[in-house]
Chain A
């Protein structure tokens, strides 16, 4: 019995020491990041985190913020899961005393974090990748932003693309989650507006070994092309292969989740000349090129994964807002975001933190030419965005043109 008590006391003490050890730190300005480093989106989280680290490096090299204090990033792993994400966010807010957070990636984590931590805790949350339309209408007291456009934008462009490629009848297969469904609905609406007919719209469960029955159903009314909304690692590649192998389709249109070189491996000749869409940077400004250059200097070759640039931008924008607000209080940061950013402001590039500080000190507004293009939020905190069209040429992915919304 005595032994048991000692054992339990030890465990409790261990836990307490863990909690308390997070408390000692020097005077810095902190921004939290909520990135999935384990779980379903781990392969993205690693690189989006690099995006935020790059922003931190640039800011600290140019003298930090709020009068020379260093910017510190505190990351917690969301495990791509809402329970863990909400807990982590609360930790950032309460224990680390942070009122500005970059994250989370998936809408399924971002929304509960916003509703149960960020809004009640008066904390600004900027998601670099949650594209769910729900975020637009969230009652967030203005605390929630995102540096990506909503799914509905890409759906419109993809629907137009399908019509422009002279397809009269279109079949859609989409991954069964909020991303897939949102995109699917938007595509159908736009394609039918253009006079086309969607013969089939089929949701698929990720990670199954065979999608032949879905493909058979999709092909049953002889559509001209298949619009595939999927990720590479949840079944997208399997669907492409099985579609080609059994001859269900020979014309494809892809979305951003499949904008990755793996999709053509071994089947280059069959996918030659196919088109796809993906959110991309607004034209004008050289943010994207500069970002690629800086990223590769720091971390090596930039992987063809999305949301690295938007993560950088989210961090940079938060730093701008903190500098403008002159404080790290949530409400002040929230108000400062819209005060500091303006479409017709003075241009600041992603490596010009010093210039930004001077402009803020002079009371000027800033047009931030971000890594993903100029970052301007509309009145519900969504980023204005652009959707790019890409094409497969000689087995490589080539960007074709950009549609601005």
Chain B
């Protein structure tokens, strides 16, 4: 999987079944997302667009943690989530969604590779 992310042609030449890897990658992320969806529905209520509403904060979390680092992604998610919730102590609640983006943009400026990502 990591080989493919780096160079898909090279991976193919070295005999990796790239299509199977792609399918498995999608399957794994599908399972994880579905699990998250179930948990979210327990906490709130079920709507068709609940995933779409989360898309942008998720980007922020991944960038914060560092693309390609599972622990980074988890950590990034935690940081974004907690800082959004805690932010209302300082700023107006209406700006809550902006917190994720601000963190994301700051991160892109200071350290585009993310907290735990490798240097690109």
Residues of A within 8 A of B (CB): 176, 202-205, 207-210, 212-214, 216-217, 233, 237-238, 241-242
Contacts and interface: CB of A to CB of B under 8 A. Distances in A.
B93 A203 contact: yes
6 contacts: A203-B93, A209-B43, A217-B89, A238-B45, A242-B43, A242-B44
Contact of A209 (B44, B88, B94): B44
B120 interface: no
Contact of B93 (A209, A213, A242): A213
A209 B87 contact: no
Interface residues of B, number: 21
Nearest to A238: B44
Contact of A216 (B81, B84, B88): B88
B87 A213 contact: yes
A242 B43 CA distance: 8
A108 to B, nearest CB: 17
Contacts of B40: 209
B9 interface: no
A213 B85 contact: yes
A291 B88 CA distance: 46
Contacts of B88: 213-214, 216-217
Interface of B: 40, 43-45, 47, 49-50, 53-54, 81, 84-89, 92-94, 96-97
Nearest to A239: B44
A176 B94 contact: yes
A180 to B, nearest CB: 11
A213 B47 CA distance: 22
B94 A203 contact: yes
Contacts of A210: 43-44, 81, 84-85
A241 B45 CA distance: 9
A263 to B, nearest CB: 10
Nearest to B94: A203
A233 B47 contact: yes
B53 A213 contact: no
Contacts of A205: 94, 96-97
A214 B89 CA distance: 9
A207 B85 contact: no
Given A209-B40, A213-B86, A237-B44, 20 more contacts: A176-B94, A202-B92, A202-B93, A202-B94, A207-B47, A207-B50, A208-B97, A209-B50, A209-B53, A210-B43, A210-B81, A212-B85, A213-B85, A213-B89, A214-B93, A216-B88, A217-B93, A237-B45, A238-B44, A241-B45
Contacts of B47: 207, 233
A253 to B, nearest CB: 20
A217 B85 CA distance: 11
A307 B49 CA distance: 24
Nearest to A233: B47
B60 to A, nearest CB: 14
B94 A241 contact: no
A338 B96 CA distance: 47
Contacts of B92: 202-203
A242 B44 CA distance: 8
Contacts of A176: 94
Contacts of A214: 88, 93, 96
A213 B54 contact: no
B106 to A, nearest CB: 21
Given A238-B44, A241-B44, A213 B49 contact: no
A299 to B, nearest CB: 24
Contacts of A217: 88-89, 93
Nearest to B47: A233
Contacts of B94: 176, 202-205
A132 to B, nearest CB: 19
A207 B49 contact: yes
Contacts of A233: 47
A209 B52 CA distance: 11
Nearest to B98: A205
Pick the most buried of A208, A212, A214, A238: most chain B CB atoms within 10 A of its CB: A208
A321 B40 CA distance: 52
